[in-house]
Amino acid sequence: MTLPANYAKIFKRDCFTFKQLKEQLSTEEIEQIKIEYKTVWQAWKELHLTIYSQFENTFERPKIESWTNGWNLRNHFWAAYRLKDAPKSNACLGVLINRKQLQIYLMFQHYKSEQRVGLATDYNQLLQQIPTWRQTVDCRHYQIWPQQEHELDDHLPLSTYLNAPVLQEQLEKEIIDTSFQLGKVYYHDVPTEEIEQVITKALRELLPLLQACK
């Protein structure tokens, strides 16, 4: 399963609220946007269900965010994978597409975190395991960043981070009241027919870190 060609173009817009869209566009134009969104989102959903079929003994069924929140079109599509034996953990693996990139990453979900299990301070201790973990993966495409950094910002390459103690100290200071994120980032340079393979590989690579959160 894969995504339509040029899938990222649906996010390349200045306006995402239906109220503003209705002020600027005709009903027919808005309906066309909805069709385009639904087409990409349906493929996105099927992609993750296909990927999940390879991890049924490892992950819960992924949480696949809807293409709209009712009032707005999404400016990205997002899915989250949690361990089958830790389904209420705040730590998870996220997969995101937006106008700029495909991102597969380890994260601590702060939104409604009080309804789940795990503290950000405990999660952040994973930073100490990254130097050992990185010996098992190819660092190309891996980046690391504080949770508060915007998803469209250019993040710090993991190899640069690991070779610069001053950057490691800086990140630790930046995440005192929040958390870090670590993952593979592709700037839409992955052929659509390879997206499933790329996501699957990244999930497998990041899995040991997620399991260490339990």
* Type of residue numbered 212: A
Question: Average pLDDT, whole number, for the chain?
Answer: 97
Q: Which residues of 18-54 are buried (b: 16+ CB within 10 A; e: fewer)?
A: beebeeeeeeeeeeeeeeebeebbebbbebbeebbee
Check: CB of residue 110 under 8 Å from CB of residue 180.
no
pLDDT at 127: 98
Residue spans of alpha helices (H) in the chain = 18-24, 27-52, 120-123, 130-133, 158-162, 165-174, 195-211
- For residue range 41-96, list pLDDT tens digits in order: 999 999 999 999 999 999 999 999 999 998 999 999 999 999 999 999 999 999 99
pLDDT at 27: 96
Find the Cα–Cα–Cα–Cα dihedral 145, 147, 148, 151, rounded to 10°.
70
User: In this model, does residue 1 exceed pLDDT 80?
Assistant: no
- For residue range 184-205, list pLDDT tens digits in order: 999 999 999 999 999 999 999 9
Q: Which residue has the tokens 């600027």?
A: 24
- For residue range 126-136, list pLDDT tens digits in order: 999 999 999 99
Which of 79, 113, 83 has the alpha carbon at shortest distance from 94?
79
* Cα angle, residue 118 at apex, residues 115 and 120 outer, rounded to 5°: 110
* Type of residue numbered 117: V
Q: What is the pTM of this model?
A: 0.96
pLDDT at 214: 78
- For residue range 12-37, list pLDDT tens digits in order: 999 999 999 999 999 999 999 999 99
Which of 145, 82, 65 has the alpha carbon at shortest distance from 117?
82
Percent share of the chain, pLDDT over 70: 100
Residue 20 and residue 26: Cα distance in Å, rounded? Answer: 11
Q: What is the set of domains in the chain, with CATH numbers?
A: 7-211 (3.30.930.20)
pLDDT at 193: 94
pLDDT at 192: 93
Structure confidence at residue 211 as a pLDDT band (50, 70, 90) = very high
Percent share of the chain, pLDDT over 90: 97
- The burial class, CB within 10 Å (0-12 / 13-18 / 19+), for 193 is exposed
